Structure 1
Amino acid sequence: MATIVLARHVETEKNLRDIHGASGLASVTLRGQDQVAHLARTLRSRAVTLTAVVATPTPQAVSSARLIAGELQLPYEGELGLPAVHLGVAAGLSTAELRSAHPQAHRSIDLFRARVISAAELEIPASEAAKDLEKRLVGWWRTEGRKRCRDRLVVGSNSTVLMISHLLNGVLPTDSRYRYLATPNGTARMWREEADGWRAVPAFPQQSWPDVEQLRISSPDGAVAVTRHVPSWAASRRTVILIPGYFGSSRHGPYGLYNRLARAWSWQGFETLTVDPLGSGDSTPVFRDFTSEVRSIEIVSEWASRHGSSLLLVGHSMGGATALRARDQAGAENWLVWCLAPLCRLVDLSRVFLRGRQLDELHRTGRTYRHGLELRRDMIDESGAAWDAHCKDVDGVWLGGADQYTAGMDLTAIPTARVRVIEGADHNFSTNDSPARLLASTGAALTALTGPMPSTDQ
């Protein structure tokens, strides 16, 4: 039974400059070299039988293929006769240059990358039409591709990986299903030949069209509203559950923080679920307390675990304590917990977050109000107890360097190596370029967690 493993080239100088289409910038970056080693380890761990490495004819794919072939100790058999898509006026321009020179073409590419439009709907002057692309792709596969790709690692550019993967899935460029796939540099997918064609391993999820799905997960305690961000290409075995803080209880997060994180992480291959806890957002409007917060995450975790995933719980603000308590109650030692700007204890809330009348009211009556939400002393005490009991076991903490709420926190129980600071960031990681730097830092940490290629029986 023949196998094809298809990989996107590793990071090169072209990626750093964000250039569209053809470019001779093929020098592999330090991160790209790490991706070479990681891809080789992944393929060896699955004992995939490959006879050689080939590349599509772009400088980035060729330089990457040569390095990967050396790492795998396989022969490099040269280039395939499948050029990348010609992007017309966009070719050779960075995103910023394209937006300035050809705003309509930039908008069209942006919509394609967001999976709003198909390849046939792209409007880029002087670019290759979908019908022409389809003709040469089918011709290439018939005359060269079927033979030269069998039992090979095929390293391609973004557009050639898209062409070949859709072709193997039975989708041609004029098909409305021919849409963008998020293919991170240095990631791979495998296909096995069957009597009637090729089967992707693992299979592409039905929900990847579109790649965001709205769910309501039912339970005897109520229904929890969830947004599921499904990876389209490099699927990981680990699912991420993003847990909001008490005052950022929407699945979107403050300033869209959770949406941005979920989209970026799913594009890295991690199915990511954002949650409205019971009593908030679109979930069942029950009485909200710390117990209902934890129960919400238990409901979502039980649902995700049934799909065979190991979990990473990421809690923002008071959600950090929720994540820690949920893992403890589940007794799931293989779950990981990360905390973003954890603000879980009364002593920390009292320094800046709650002051004056609100703090007096909390001590006197056991409750206070902020941003229209009731915050109770019993909830804070339970959250603080969960943090104190379990924070030493947290797997990662991200703090905002300009977060006045978490400044002065006692973090001595947490190993220093697990704490990262995003300088200049506020409590919601919304200041200046702090969202991008948080995405880069968490993305690098997620890359370190990426397991081997899923087994062929999935």
Structure 2
Amino acid sequence: MAVIVLARHVETEKNLRDIHGPSDLASVTARGQEQVTRLARAIQAAAVGVTAVVATPTAQAVVSAQLLAGQLGVRYEGELDLPAIDLGVAAGRSTAELRTAHPRAHRSLDRFRTRVISAVDLDIPEAETARDLERRLVAWWRKDGRDRCPNRLVVGSSSTVLMLAHLLNGVLPSDARYRYLATPNGSARVWRGEGDAWSATPAFPRGSWPDIDQLRIASPDGAVAVTRHVPSWAASRRTIVVIPGYFGSSRHGPYGLYNRLAHEWAWQGFETLTIDPLGSGDSTPVFRDFTSEVRSVEIVAEWAARRSSSLLLVGHSMGGATALRARDRAGDQDWPVWCLAPLCRLVDLARVFLPERQLDELEHTGRTFRHGLELRRDMIDEAGAAWDALSENVGRVWLAGNDRYTAGMDLTPIPPDLQVTIEGADHNFSTNGCFPRLLASTSAALADMVGPMPQAGG
């Protein structure tokens, strides 16, 4: 049985400038060099029988293919006669330039890349149509592709990887299923078969990307509502569980923070679960306390761990303490914990978050109300105790530079090299354009967690 390993080229200067279509900007970045090494090691470890490397005809793909051939110790056989799609007025323009020069084309391309429309619905002046693309793609496969691709590592641009992935899956550009795939730079997937019968390992998710499922995970303590964001391209058995803070108790997060993170992390190949803790949102309406918060994480993490080779817990605000306690109760389970703007202790809440009137109420009655939610002293004390006892186990923490709530926190248990500050950010990472910087930083950290490719037999 033959094998095809299909990979997108590694990061180059073109990616940093966000240019669509053809470009000669092929200088590989430092991150791109790391991707070459990581991908070559994964291919070698997978023992998939690659005998040579070929590239589609873009400068970025050719450079990447040559570097990978050198790392793998196999020959580079040159370019395939499969040009990238002609994007008409979008070609050679950055997203910002296209938005200004051709708003209609920008909107159409954006809707395609967010999987709202299929290729046949694209509306970009002067661009190649789905029907024209289909004709040349099918002709190329019959004439050249089915002979040159098997037992090779095929390195392509975003659009050529999209063409080949769908072709191998039996989907042509005129099909409504021909939608954008999230193909991170330096990522690969394996197909096995021969002739025109190929199957991906593992199989692609059944729906369009991001494949979002709404779940209710049952337990004797109640059902936890979960939104599951599944990657379409990157072959992943790696899962992230996002744990909300007390006042960001919805699985959407304040200003949609958790949804936005989940969308982008799924793009990178990480199945991401956002949750409503028991007693909040669409979960079972039980009495909510710190124990129920921790139990909610355990219910979801245990469900995910049965299906995943690795699990990462990411807690926001008070969710950092919740994640740490759940990890501690899991015993020898390898569940790293990351924290975003942790706010877990009464001494920190008292500085700015709670006014004097609410602090007095909390002291004398054991509870107060904020934004219509009850906040109880016992819950704060338990969260604070968890943070004090376990914060030295935090794998990484992201702090918000303009977060008046967490300013002045004692973070001495966490080594400085594990602390990242997103300058200009507020507690919810929603101001001063800080979200892209948070995303870039977390994405770089996640890149180090990429697992091996599927083995030749599985």
Interval containing the TM-score (normalised by the shorter chain): over 0.9
* 2:432 alignment counterpart: 432
Q: CA deviation at 1:194?
A: 5.8
1:300-348 CA deviation, whole Å, 9 max, x = no partner? Answer: 1122122133210000000001101111112143111001111111111
Work out the CA distance in 2 between the residues paired with 1:209 and 1:248: 26
* 1:9 alignment counterpart: 9
Work out the CA distance in 1 between the residues paired with 2:169 and 2:402: 48
* 1:176 alignment counterpart: 176
Check the 8 A contact 1:23/1:59 in 2, yes or no: yes
Work out the CA distance in 2 between the residues paired with 1:411 and 1:14: 39
Work out the CA distance in 2 between the residues paired with 1:267 and 1:72: 26
1:26 aligns to 2:26 (yes or no):
yes
What pairs up with 1:77-116 in 2 under 5 angstroms? 77-116=77-116
* 1:39 alignment counterpart: 39
Work out the CA distance in 1 between the residues paired with 2:208 and 2:456: 20
Which letter does structure 2 place at the counterpart of 1:389? A
* Structure 1 residue matching 2:448: 3-state secondary structure: helix
Structure 2 residues not aligned, in runs of 5+: none
Which letter does structure 1 place at the counterpart of 2:26? A
What pairs up with 1:162-311 in 2 under 5 angstroms? 162-193=162-193, 197-208=197-208, 211-311=211-311
Which letter does structure 1 place at the counterpart of 2:27? S
Q: CA deviation at 1:236?
A: 2.8
Q: CA deviation at 1:285?
A: 1.5
* 1:318 alignment counterpart: 318
Check the 8 A contact 1:11/1:29 in 2, yes or no: yes
Work out the CA distance in 1 between the residues paired with 2:255 and 2:152: 45
Work out the CA distance in 2 between the residues paired with 1:332 and 1:414: 21
1:374 aligns to 2:374 (yes or no):
yes
Q: CA deviation at 1:235?
A: 2.8
Check the 8 A contact 2:209/2:231 in 1, yes or no: no
Work out the CA distance in 1 between the residues paired with 2:14 and 2:80: 21
Work out the CA distance in 1 between the residues paired with 2:383 and 2:63: 52
Greater alpha carbon shift after TM alignment, 163-172 vs 402-411: 402-411
CA gap 1:93/1:195 in 2 versus in 1, 3 angstroms: closer
Check the 8 A contact 1:208/1:231 in 2, yes or no: no
* 2:345 alignment counterpart: 345
Q: CA deviation at 1:190?
A: 0.6
Q: CA deviation at 1:48?
A: 2.4
What pairs up with 1:440-455 in 2 under 5 angstroms? 440-455=440-455
Work out the CA distance in 1 between the residues paired with 2:364 and 2:280: 26
Q: CA deviation at 1:237?
A: 2.5
Work out the CA distance in 2 between the residues paired with 1:412 and 1:25: 44
Greater alpha carbon shift after TM alignment, 20-29 vs 375-384: 20-29
Check the 8 A contact 1:53/1:155 in 2, yes or no: yes
Q: CA deviation at 1:170?
A: 0.7
Check the 8 A contact 1:4/1:149 in 2, yes or no: yes
* 1:385 alignment counterpart: 385
Work out the CA distance in 2 between the residues paired with 1:161 and 1:20: 15
Q: CA deviation at 1:196?
A: 7.4
What pairs up with 1:85-164 in 2 under 5 angstroms? 85-164=85-164
Check the 8 A contact 2:4/2:154 in 1, yes or no: yes
Work out the CA distance in 2 between the residues paired with 1:368 and 1:287: 16
Work out the CA distance in 1 between the residues paired with 2:274 and 2:186: 27
Work out the CA distance in 2 between the residues paired with 1:435 and 1:362: 33
Structure 1 residues not aligned, in runs of 5+: none
Work out the CA distance in 2 between the residues paired with 1:118 and 1:362: 54
* Structure 1 residue matching 2:375: 3-state secondary structure: strand
Which letter does structure 2 place at the counterpart of 1:80? L
Number of corresponding residues: 458
Check the 8 A contact 2:210/2:266 in 1, yes or no: no
Check the 8 A contact 1:26/1:63 in 2, yes or no: yes
Which letter does structure 1 place at the counterpart of 2:232? S
Q: CA deviation at 1:295?
A: 1.0
Work out the CA distance in 1 between the residues paired with 2:133 and 2:430: 42
Work out the CA distance in 2 between the residues paired with 1:387 and 1:98: 47
Check the 8 A contact 1:279/1:287 in 2, yes or no: yes
Work out the CA distance in 2 between the residues paired with 1:207 and 1:308: 20
* Structure 2 residue matching 1:206: 3-state secondary structure: coil
Q: CA deviation at 1:387?
A: 1.0
Q: CA deviation at 1:220?
A: 2.1
Work out the CA distance in 2 between the residues paired with 1:412 and 1:58: 49
* Structure 2 residue matching 1:406: 3-state secondary structure: coil
**Seq. identity, %:** 75
* Structure 2 residue matching 1:32: 3-state secondary structure: helix
Work out the CA distance in 2 between the residues paired with 1:196 and 1:65: 24
1:356 aligns to 2:356 (yes or no):
yes
Work out the CA distance in 2 between the residues paired with 1:457 and 1:219: 36
Which letter does structure 1 place at the counterpart of 2:413? A
Check the 8 A contact 2:210/2:232 in 1, yes or no: no
CA gap 1:207/1:215 in 2 versus in 1, 3 angstroms: farther
CA gap 1:149/1:195 in 2 versus in 1, 3 angstroms: closer
Q: CA deviation at 1:442?
A: 0.5
Greater alpha carbon shift after TM alignment, 172-181 vs 46-55: 46-55
Check the 8 A contact 2:210/2:263 in 1, yes or no: no
Greater alpha carbon shift after TM alignment, 33-42 vs 199-208: 199-208
TM-score under structure 2 length normalisation: 0.97
Check the 8 A contact 2:146/2:195 in 1, yes or no: no
